Structure 1
Amino acid sequence: MLLEGAIGDAYGAGFEFVYRLIIRRRNKLKRYKRHPFYRTICGHYTDDTQMALALAELIVEGLELTRLNIANKFVEVFKRDVRQGYAFRFFGLLKEVNSGQELLDKIKSKSEHNGSAMRAYPIGVLSTEKAVLEKATMQAAITHDTDWGIRSAQAVALIAHFFMYEKGRKAQLIQYLADWQHLQWASNWQGEVPMKGKETVEAVLSLVTQGESMSKMLIDAVNLGGDTDTVASLVMALGSVCSEIEQDLPKWMFVQLENGPFGYSYIEQLDQKLLAQLPRATRG
């Protein structure tokens, strides 16, 4: 799940808010593409994956998911491996602070952007919907303490939980979310995806509920345009734990993903440890 999320992130990063004509011409799933403006991130994941890794590490390490522990981990993973993709002000704040408490003290968290949702899927491994909702809300409120900032993070974590715990068929996913969130999500998204939590979740839901293979879903996610790295990362992470979706990503996407200290090998090992948290009967 984490590895596929990183692959979607790295591939989508080459197309983020690029002209649609360029996307259609280059989005052939042949190699990682260089973004016209952020040329150093080719084949590298962004903040989306880095923050998801932070939550996954907390879960694997057995640390309680408290506000302070989450904030400390956000600062830790950023400091050890500074990379592009963060919002300008948040990037500056992470460079400035030296602890989670400093982050909590200084951050302005009234955003409805999709940052809280993009990282939430590892929380789906928790054993109950109650725990998933509680911890998704907690981590979201650190940076996105708004209605849609929280609801979008809850939705992503619940989707991951639904698939990992085999709660039903894809066709039942929208009703499952409605039952737990008392909210009816749309799943017929078309057009460019803005950096907003609500719209991002609806785009992801549209792709996951209608998709049949990972490779086709990745192409379709990027073809939407807009915040392509976040949409592609979420669709790949969530699709990877859905038994109804063909796992057909080309091998080059794994081989050519960055493999530094926190690259492919590290993510693969963390992924295995995270999924080992699931009851044995539900493991793929």
Structure 2
Amino acid sequence: MLVESAIGDAYGAGFEYAEPEFVARYNTMRDYVQHPTHPGIRPGAYTDDTQMSLAIAEVLVAGGEWSRERLAEQFVLAFRRDERVGYSRRFQAFLDTAYTGADLLRRVDPASDKSGAAMRAGPIGLLADVDDVLNHARVQASITHDTPLGIEAAQAAALAVHYCHHRLGPVAELPAWVAGRLGPEWARPWQGKVGAKGWMSVRAALTAVATGSGLTEILRTCVAFTGDVDTVGTIALCAASRSPEIAQDLPDALITGLENGAFGRDYLRELDTRLLETFA
């Protein structure tokens, strides 16, 4: 799950807000690409989407209290041990000068409805109870995106994983199932460019998963939307990787090309194993 979502993140990072002509030409799924205007984003490297998902997963595996304070501490720890690009300028500024979770909570302004809380919510979907999924997603979202739309987007992303992991129905009915819990707008298919709002990324991801038969097709669809496609890819592949209906057919070049430093592919694979054992 974490490996696949990291591949969605890293592949999408090469196309984030790139011109449609660039996306149409290079969205071949054969390999990672260098972003045309951001040379600091290295092909095969994941972004903040995966780093924060990793922090969420580590807290879930460790067990114990699920609180804003504990999660904020883990967000800071994950950043400090492996600083990387991809965060918004404003949040990057907080992380650059925060050394504890308390620092972060004291200084961050959580009045955002962008995609930061949704992009990291996927692992929460492994929880067995829908109410627990909704509550856990709300608590973690409230740290940085304590707005109705910010929280709801995070809940929708976590519910998508829950639906696929617990095999609650055909993937084609995923958007309708999410809509039954959060509101009818979640069942509407996404079309066109994906903007910065969290609900946009999640609706695009739900559309890609519901209409795809394999991870390769789903990720290609995510990127073809254009816009904030690394977030769409992260959310979509996190959910789709847990569905027995979806072919696990990502190209070897994307698997072996995913970064593999201290917190790269092998670490993500190990954490995946621990997550799935915890929530078997």
Distance 1:63 1:96 in 2: 28
Query: Within 5 A, what are the aligned runs for 1:207-222?
Result: 207-222=208-223
In structure 1, the partner of 2:115 is 114
In structure 2, the partner of 1:21 is 21
Distance 1:5 1:122 in 2: 10
Counterpart contact for 2:175–2:207, Cα < 8 Å: no
Give the deviation of 1:210 after TM superposition.
Answer: 0.8
Residue 166, structure 1, aligned to residue 155, structure 2: no
* CA RMSD, 1 decimal: 1.2
The share of aligned pairs that are identical, in percent, is 43
In structure 2, the partner of 1:4 is 4
Distance 2:30 2:171 in 1: 29
In structure 2, the partner of 1:39 is 39
Question: Kindly tell me: are residues 116 and 98 of structure 1, through their superposed partners in 2, closer, same or farther at Cα, counting changes over 3 Å?
Answer: same
**Which has the higher mean CA deviation after the structures are superposed, 174-183 or 16-25?**
174-183
Distance 1:103 1:183 in 2: 35
In structure 1, the partner of 2:151 is 150
TM-score, normalised with respect to structure 2 = 0.97
Distance 2:136 2:48 in 1: 20
Give the deviation of 1:88 after TM superposition.
Answer: 0.1
Give the deviation of 1:158 after TM superposition.
Answer: 0.8
Counterpart contact for 1:177–1:184, Cα < 8 Å: no
Query: Within 5 A, what are the aligned runs for 1:64-213?
Result: 64-213=65-214
In structure 1, the partner of 2:54 is 53
Q: Which runs of 5+ in 1 are unaligned?
A: 280-284
> C-alpha deviations, 1:96-132, integer Å up to 9, x for none?
1111011111110101101110000000111211111
Distance 2:37 2:176 in 1: 41
**Which has the higher mean CA deviation after the structures are superposed, 130-139 or 59-68?**
59-68
Question: Kindly tell me: are residues 191 and 228 of structure 1, through their superposed partners in 2, closer, same or farther at Cα, counting changes over 3 Å?
Answer: same
Task: Look up the SS of the partner of 1:64 in the other structure.
Answer: coil
Counterpart contact for 1:71–1:142, Cα < 8 Å: yes
Distance 1:104 1:98 in 2: 11
Distance 1:130 1:195 in 2: 27
TM-score, normalised with respect to structure 1 = 0.95
Residue 230, structure 1, aligned to residue 231, structure 2: yes
Task: Look up the SS of the partner of 1:39 in the other structure.
Answer: coil
What is the count of residue pairs matched by the alignment?
Answer: 279
Write the letter of the residue equivalent to 2:132.
Answer: A
Give the deviation of 1:216 after TM superposition.
Answer: 1.1
